[in-house]
Chain A
């Protein structure tokens, strides 16, 4: 039986973990949501009575899944009966792969394409449309149980977009491919058509845990609810999230209520909440509390709660002076206040604004390093076999990384056996040893990886050219990475193609993080510097619910900070014929005693 130290968890967390039935847990920022989830899973695993049961946890990102998985292993709990991953992986592993033979689009086999492939296909199809000017951006869509929804708010374009999408789906169907949206849709169709699937999964799963429910879509809720309902009360659910942080409304994500989800699942949820914030100072907590959409009582209880935070809001800086201002704020936090550079984060709504700014900051602050999801020089397609292998190759053998690299090695080996390659004597240790033994004298990242892959394959006698799926993944990995590097180089990051930059991706945070607002979800920093907080960007001009979305975005940005928060709505960004962008309304309209950042 898994037990924990009393100081590991607070009473509210313990109550949520020990509650025997299904729990619907609203967790405010910094309340130890991931920790609670981790301990809950560890406890469930240790309590399993049958080796035929599984605990299933749905996370928003692969990174979160990996992190929780590792933490549970570190707690000394056997994870062989745990399945953890994103909803898309869940649908592939538990529904599409085992039951695909019952779906006309999947029964002859299928391959998942990534966002990049989708974008390329959309672009090509859009360029063939004559009367309407379309971009791949217009073609974004998602499925509801009732059908597809276009995210483009220009209804005039809808007919043309539908034409493009139909052609796109036809092409996917012909090529036996599925994109991320179709994964969900087909999984939903299978579950609807064959009630036995829900009955079986419902009795295999001891508990279904859902993280970040506020960004979950209706079709995802429907899939999970069907399974839970199919279990006829055998499986419990543990749903965690924060409605105030729902920032994926434009993609169909919404925070369901406990009552609604409970009715769909046939489960009576115990509603609980975590209101102790361990992350931020009292001043930060009181600030982001102003942007609550749903009332929440948040108590700052962390070690930094008494920190004398600087919370600033700047509507004066012109976009031309933005770089200098950012430099000043970084130096103030790092050099004046002694905050470590990796504890500083720069946030903006759109990636286009970040790319050029990062380049200029790199030039202006030669003593600093920067990283962020946008600084990854290769395609981060976690389902790609070669990406999986690259993770091992680009990390050093070290005691800290041992568990992680062993797991990655396991994924590579099972990837091989999935495509029918079975190498006698190849186990995880042998693979790691082989990887550690290869040295390639190359400084260009992609050239290095290509040579490394070839040498490793030769060492194990793998002919990946003979295996269609490995070859496809190989092509996709290099093609996609090359495109990405070309774009980043064009945007000014000349050094991005170098091996050192490749390695940095897995090296953990070493410098200042640069990220979009959606990219900092779940993370925390001592100092958060946000700019581009302008109406039309925050919220996005296409968002149907402007005020609420804006509040949630500001709430997410502000609640990332432990100590200092600097918000900037710069002047002088042109919005074409309608003049310049103006500060985000909800921000400008907020009454708060902001601090002045000393020069």
Chain B
């Protein structure tokens, strides 16, 4: 298999520490402030005007300002799976329309074969001209609630090819001219999408966000002049590069290999999908290489990744342990060189294979494989695996809501806890691998008002977190019932067999599982981890997500923290004693640590060898 064109980047990025630019320092501060402010504003607009809860509650959206070469300049905090590849999506548009773009144009790219993530992520690219010169692109990405797949989901794992997948593909299609919709394209989409009003509303929200960005960027160039702004764009990329080079320079040199495996899907992938990665740190060059080559050819189902998501998976796994104030721009991100098969299951997409699920399942495994390399690089940088997600609690639901007499399709996004333990901290509770924990949770009330379902329960599960010196965050149990209308749930969960791994002595996370519950009788039937089911009135779905893996030896865990978790009902006194070696006394205001007995017990457990959790 040949390498992706990306590997060519490597030659450009070695050992060239860019010199500080000639731009006055205060102008660097002013212009970067303005640009990041404008990009953040685009995000705000999109989040507040979107229709589907996937975008408005869960914030499954991202925006970028790219320079005239398509390189991302300002990426406000967004989902990592989107953020780390915006230039790829933008440059595909340039490839098709580079010479004929005009002010007032807008392009829609949802093609994983052309630098986009997966078909459900619609990306609007708007060129920004000033005095006739192309200066910027406003790139706005959002996950649509429905895209006209052959089944009502935006993640169609069984699609053998894009024909079976069924979504309308927009490979960099011009959707606006002179600031007006190209009506025939819109009409075509509305015919093929289950909830055309919601789709069009979200489309408008994205266009609106891009136009708001365009207006402010034009003002900016008017104030500072094209020449200065262009010099700033270059200087800002250099700044990002310098920051990354500095940080990578502090790391040890070496090469490490790691892997993570997606669960089998009966009838589709009998042995799951193994993701193997080699990470090489070259501190002297300020470069990290992430090599996914050799993971195999594309598979005849929707789980293939694509260039954009392999790129973002690699960058996410590395950035997960970089300082939080590194600027998100290509100058910084390009210090992470990525190698992949072309085509490949963990590589570039290729027609007719489907990449319908390219942003989550296998992408999650790819991120985990990379981020857990840190545990080998150094104990202090180590992190475990987190909840691998996409179980029934995150189903795409669909049906007809008789309350409003309207059809609906949307993805549920809540009940997704189980962050991995990292050196120094317990796992973050509200979690998501490919969304960096940025995913908002549906408000129960908002979702019940919009869709005919009821959340009967949404609480953490005691004794669920992977144990360690730092615990993985607990799992969450959600019970979602229907009302008067039947509701279809589609989901493709991972993590029932290959649970999130603990690292450096930490315990593994808890498997994910699901049942169909007959609310009246309380009878429960187990459900497979990958299914399309219809719940009738009187039935509910019980979903328990993974918890996060633990990090380090549980016997080293701060005993007061163990006690606190017992008081809070996350951990039972029994587990405190057997796993952490912490003995608790009962007081009127709750449990308290019995220090002497705890030390004795811990010594005893240590002498018996590594704990089995």
- Do A and B pair up? The answer is no
Residues of B in contact with A (beta carbons under 8 Å apart): none
Residues of A in contact with B (beta carbons under 8 Å apart): none
